[in-house]
Amino acid sequence: MKLIVTFSRKAGKKPIIAQVVRDTGVLINVERALIDSSEGEALIDVPDESCSVVKERLAELGASVRVLEDIISLDESRCVDCGACISICPQEVFSFDEDWKLVMEGDRCVLCGRCIEICPQRALSQKGEG
């Protein structure tokens, strides 16, 4: 399961994610992170069964946590099934089915944004930011 973790760094540069790994013993995969001197945002992947314990511990350490589900949204009325998104996606989210229809495995997405940027039909967007 993918979680977006945001935290403030104003109180000091605490290694929050490392702390959670040590406290919970859950191996966390950091897929994308943007951290500057005042705040940080990380996209992490955790095993489904450990999701609640990780979320709990992150919250205790002062981070806010949001579960990511189907983060990329495909406007089927715009999509023409060209496939421009297929080869540029680092996570192999997109593929064709046997009828050459574009299919998407949104849970693999790490929100790099490349497909949104290059879709010739502008059919892709980030959920909630339509």
Partner 1 sequence: MEKTIGLIRERIRDGNARVVTAEEMPHIVDELGEEGALREVDVVTTGTFGAMCSSGAFLNFGHADPPIKMERVWLNDVEAYGGIASVDAYIGATQKSTTREARYGGAHVMEDFVSGKAVELRALSTGTDCYPRRTITTELLLENLNQAIMVNPRNGYQRYNAAANSTDRSLYTYMGMLLPNCGNITYSGSGLLNPIMNDPSFRLIGSGVPAFLCGAPGMVIGEGTQHSPASGFGTLMVTADMKEMSPDYLRAATMTGYGVTLYVGLGIPIPVLDIETVRSTAVRDEDIVVDIIDYGIPSRSRPSLRKVSYAELKSGAVELHGEEVRTSSLSSYRRAREIALTLKTWVEEGKLEPALPTRGIDTTRSALPLRETVQGPRVLDIMDRKVISIGQDEEIRTAAKKLLKGETNHLPVIEESGKLVGIVTTYDISKAVVNPGKATRVRDIMKKRVITTTPEEPVDIAVRKLEKHNISALPVIDRDDRVIGMLTAMNLGKLFGGRWLK
The greatest distance separating any two alpha carbons of the chain, rounded to the nearest whole angstrom, comes to 54
Site residues (CB under 8 A) for partner 1? 80-88, 92, 95-96, 99-101, 114, 117-118, 120-122
Q: In angstroms, what is the minimal distance from the CB of 70 to partner 1?
A: 22
Choice between 13 and 101, CB closer to partner 1: 101
Choice between 7 and 94, CB closer to partner 1: 94
**Interatomic CA distance for residues 92 and 70, integer angstroms:** 14
Q: In angstroms, what is the minimal distance from the CB of 125 to partner 1?
A: 14
Give the burial class of 35: count Cβ atoms within 10 A of its Cβ; 0-12 exposed, 13-18 middle, 19 or more buried. Answer: middle
Choice between 21 and 74, CB closer to partner 1: 74
Q: In angstroms, what is the minimal distance from the CB of 130 to partner 1?
A: 16
Amino acid code (one letter) for 68: L
**Interatomic CA distance for residues 78 and 53, integer angstroms:** 40
